Amino acid sequence: MLEQVQEAPQSSEPRKVSVQQKVTYPSEHLQKYARRNGFGCEYEVNMDKASFLFRCKLTVGEWTTVTEAKSKKEAKHAAAVNMLKQISVIKWKERESWGLPREGEQCNAYLNNLATLVPCRLPQRPSDVSDCHLESTPRTGHIMELKRLCGKRCLKLRFEVNASQDGKVTAVACLCDGRRFTGEGPSKRKAMAAAAFECIKAVKFEISVHAT
């Protein structure tokens, strides 16, 4: 005796794509799906000496976008997000082939999630995540941040670095108005970062902090 099995009717509603599960870093997403669609991603990154910002020109096939950010990585990620936004409009019928949700609302939500990943560096260790948000400890990125800040405020900046016999390195960030900010570290770069961090707090928030 054969048993009849009744198949459940297929839903006519479009299958929803989980935005949270698909989110990855924008440059990685674009690289992956551009390659699948037969395109290459060409990044051209330069630093604007006037603004101390990194400018990224991204070309994928016949599409081009230009973005600016405080670091090369942030500029590249912002360019990747902009490029995906262009593709989602131009190739709206082929969104799924670019790893994007088919429905417009879900696609926008996914791209917005990608955009929120741009400001932070890709974390290599747990402390990187907290540094990115809290900015409570010196990091090498503060050196470039200080240069940008001084450039905007027309302040001349120079660093003095000295190493002691015990291996400790001392750096002094000297401003043209006479203020000096001292930092120490196990290397020249880290000592300069510590000095830059102290200087940023004074310049950015107008606090008169003088090195002793």
Please list the ranges in the chain whose pLDDT falls under 70. 1-24, 117-136, 204-212
- By DSSP bridging, strand 180-185 and strand 53-60 are unpaired
For residue 120, what are its two tokens? Answer: 């932070």
Look up the pTM and report it.
Answer: 0.49
Give the residue extent of every domain in the chain.
26-116, 140-210
- AA letter at 46: N
Task: Give CATH for domain 140-210.
Answer: 3.30.160.20
pLDDT the model gives residue 161: 93
pLDDT the model gives residue 166: 82
26-116 CATH pick, 3.40.50.12140, 1.10.10.10, 3.30.160.20, 3.20.20.70: 3.30.160.20
The CA distance from 140 to 47, in Å, is: 17
Torsion angle in degrees (nearest 10) through CA of 137, 141, 143, 145: -100
> Where does residue 118 fall: left (phi above 0), alpha (psi -120 to 50 degrees), or beta otherwise?
alpha
Q: Same CATH topology for 26-116 and 140-210?
A: yes
